[in-house]
Amino acid sequence: MNKKKGQLTLRKIVDRFPKATILVVGDVMMDRFIWGKVSRISPEAPVPVVVVDHEDVRLGGAANVVNNIDELGGKGVLCGVVGDDEMGQRIMNELIEKKIMTHGIFIEKGRQSTVKTRIFANQQQVVRIDRERTDHLKGSTFRNLSEFLIGKMEDSDGIILSDYGKGVLTRKLIRALIRRARESKKFVMVDPKSKDYSIYRGATVITPNTKEASEASGIPITDELSLEKAGKKLLKKLRCDALVITRGEEGMTIFEPDQEPFSVGTVAKEVYDVTGAGDTVIGAIALALSIGAKIKTAAELANYAAGIVVGKMGTATATREELIRAIREKP
């Protein structure tokens, strides 16, 4: 494929994103960022003293996936759970402000909303503080969530399971969603966190990062050869249509049955922060698949989107306009 034809194909896919509706279920969270400077060490302990300049909050986890889908021009339908606490209300307010529908978000009394607080000093992350509950949902919450998903599945082109291991995506729910999606001829994409990858068997596309793929396969990934062994082992074990191993600054590698591994190199000009890049990748691939793109083309497009967000600080999104510009400027 020559450069001009390749750009045209990718642009046509992006132009069709508004036709896509993706159902996203998983762990909804808030990413909190505290920015400051360090000029001295504390006299109380050998730790830096961070003098705070400012702080902000951004949607994280499954909410960030939907935010990326919407910013890229598609329609994301979010389903998840927050607690009845201050941060849970803040998450709801942020969703409303961004015009993301909240009728798929269920508030569970007594549950701690998931918050990841990252403290940056002189543009470097120095510590992360997590507040979360990872136990299973209450029976009533689980039933409400399940009923919502059953009702919305038929109206979607595909489903993303955004699993951050915070208790929403149980084995029972994951298996039921994959089975029902297959019956309805909908694709299922998984951003995995469970160490037991058997729960994702039969999903259409699974997108672990290098560390996750290494742990799940039992093969330490240190070079291209070990990457290939791990990828092929997982592909066979999971019986998925495609396995996409995201590799940070090295791009991503795609594994499909009866085909050689296919690598897509990164297009990022500068990498400032990889926070949330996986959410961007899975959202962009899902949009491309929903309008008929092949997985390799979808991954190439997602790589452009990821290249945009890693050039920004904190949890970020790639807009449709930024993606079109990145494709146009392809070297």
Given a contact cutoff of 8 angstroms between Cβ atoms, the answer to whether 254 and 206 are in contact is: no
| Angstrom distances, CA of residue 307 to CA of 66, 163, 178, 257 | 18, 23, 30, 27
Provide the pLDDT for residue 265: 77
CATH architecture of 10-29+60-111+133-328: 3-Layer(aba) Sandwich (3.40)
What does the alpha-carbon distance between residue 63 and residue 47 come to, in Å, rounded to a whole number?
Answer: 33
Given a contact cutoff of 8 angstroms between Cβ atoms, the answer to whether 76 and 22 are in contact is: yes
**Active-site residue list:** 279
| Angstrom distances, CA of residue 172 to CA of 179, 314, 329 | 11, 33, 45
Residues lower than pLDDT 50 in the chain: 1-2, 4-5
This prediction's pTM: 0.90
Q: Which pLDDT tens digit goes with each residue over 200-238?
A: 999 999 999 999 999 999 999 999 999 999 999 999 999
